[in-house]
Structure 1
Amino acid sequence: MSEINSDSSTSESEVSACSSKFDPVKALYSKKAKAPVKDAPLYENVQQYEAAQKNTDIIPVGLKELVEKREQEKKDKKMEEERRLQEKNRQRFAKYELPAPVRRERKGKNVLTRIETAEGPLSALRECVDHRLRIKVTTHSGRGVRGVLHATLVAFDKQWNLALSDVLEIWTKKAPKKRKIPPSMGTPVPKGSAAKISPVPIVTETPLGKGVWECTRHLPQLMVRGEQVVMINIVER
């Protein structure tokens, strides 16, 4: 082995690949050996080299990017074949498929949805709700007309129940001397926590003569039952 490793006993003709005296063992261990081609491809063994001479698809050692590119091309080609196969099968069995039943969405019904489909006289109230128009509502008590309400209509239903906002209520009543107040209503109720949370609207009384007083009060919101409604007029358009 010492003789093989010794460069003094090795001539250049023995380590030259183009020489007839080429000794592969000495060329393997000698420092004088030089590759005839600097960029020659490297293979793992002789069998791989022989296969590369017959088949150009064999990739030399060290070309990692080329290997990854080839694997990606194989993967893309396989996916494309699967896609074409699926499309072919879909077209093949399309005529045997039944149309899927369309399930209609059931919309919930409430006061607001019914307002949108209101017809006839109720359609005028729908216009008041959409454009925030002021209306005049004439109300009645058990014995006759009680008064009027000037308000903005917010919502309604087919029974003419009305939800109003920014309400000005006007009604008439007898003078204080002619009023009949039940004994139970003679004593005022003491103010408590309820009055602080929702104060009682202030009623303004104005004498009209002949023992009749006009009362007015402002309410931020009011609910009027349909059985109390006599007539509705649109004040402004």
Structure 2
Amino acid sequence: MSEGSSSESETSACSSKYNPIKVLYSSNLKVPVENAPVYENVQQFEAALQNHEQILPIGQGDLVKSREEEKRRKKLEEERLLEEKNKQRFAKYEALLPKRKEKKAKNVLTRIEASQGPLGALKDCVEKRLRVMIITRNSNSIRGSLYATVVAFDKQWNLALSDVLEIWKRKGPRKRKVPPGLGSPVPKGTAAAISPVPEVIEAPVGKGIWECRRHIPQLMVRGEHIVLINITER
């Protein structure tokens, strides 16, 4: 036998002289079956011989994805059928089960709807957009009054107001004492760049007392500062 024929027998997969090392470096290799399936290891190959349809060779990723999608769809369908079956089984017992009360969300808006008494009158002011007069106090006396529309409130009488006209009285400019904690005034235009500063209009009313007025678009008043609320328009 010639040397060429012996090398061919060593690179042939059907030969008893098959040499895998020479096959790796041979340039004249002929694959017996070009479309043969390729598996990751011998165990996968043996499993494919037993369950040919279940074990897929390398390179068939689309088929694997379609199989997984089919399994997921079948699982969802089984769960749906089981849920419907259980509903039919226990439908006759639903009337015997105690009914749970649905918990309603509790917040400022829901409490406004259930308000009664004085708070009920305040609720009407919110719904009908009525103007009210609110008398406020400071630490030891009456401070002034607010004419506004109530937007929201709570059981502590904290009020959210809109379109507020505030009127109060204080001493004249010469008798006023500026608290040391206020420090130097803010440079003109600095605060207005962040939020418009309401303009205070002052007018003397006699005996060194001046009446101050200002309009505020929105205002939050704490309940502890409120003395009286009166409806000014119906």
**SS, match of residue 93 in structure 2:** coil
| Whole-angstrom CA distance in 1 between matches of 2:203 and 2:146 | 17
| Whole-angstrom CA distance in 2 between matches of 1:181 and 1:133 | 37
> What is the correspondence of 1:61-80 to structure 2 with a 5 Å cutoff?
none
2:195 equivalent to 1:198: yes
- TM-score, scaled relative to structure 2: 0.57
Change (3 A) 1:95 1:117: closer
Q: How big is each residue's C-alpha offset from its partner over 1:69-109, in whole Å with a ceiling of 9 and x where there is no partner? A: xxxxxxxxxxxxxxxxxxxxx9xx99982125545432211
2:198 equivalent to 1:189: no
Q: Where does residue 144 of structure 1 map in the other structure?
A: 141
Q: Where does residue 114 of structure 1 map in the other structure?
A: 111
Change (3 A) 1:219 1:98: same
2:160 equivalent to 1:169: no
Gap runs ≥5 in structure 1: 1-89
Change (3 A) 1:103 1:208: same
Q: Where does residue 121 of structure 2 map in the other structure?
A: 124
Answer with 1 or 2: which has the greater Rg.
1
AA partner of residue 112 (structure 2): I
**SS, match of residue 94 in structure 2:** coil
| Whole-angstrom CA distance in 1 between matches of 2:116 and 2:127 | 14
**SS, match of residue 186 in structure 2:** coil
Change (3 A) 1:99 1:199: same
Q: Percent identity?
A: 62
**SS, match of residue 123 in structure 2:** helix
2:87 equivalent to 1:99: no
Gap runs ≥5 in structure 2: 1-84
Change (3 A) 1:96 1:141: closer
**C-alpha RMSD of the superposition:** 2.3
**SS, match of residue 98 in structure 1:** helix
- TM-score, scaled relative to structure 1: 0.57
Q: How big is each residue's C-alpha offset from its partner over 1:158-195, in whole Å with a ceiling of 9 and x where there is no partner? A: 11101000000000000011111234546321246542
**Number of residues of Structure 1 aligned to a counterpart in Structure 2:** 146
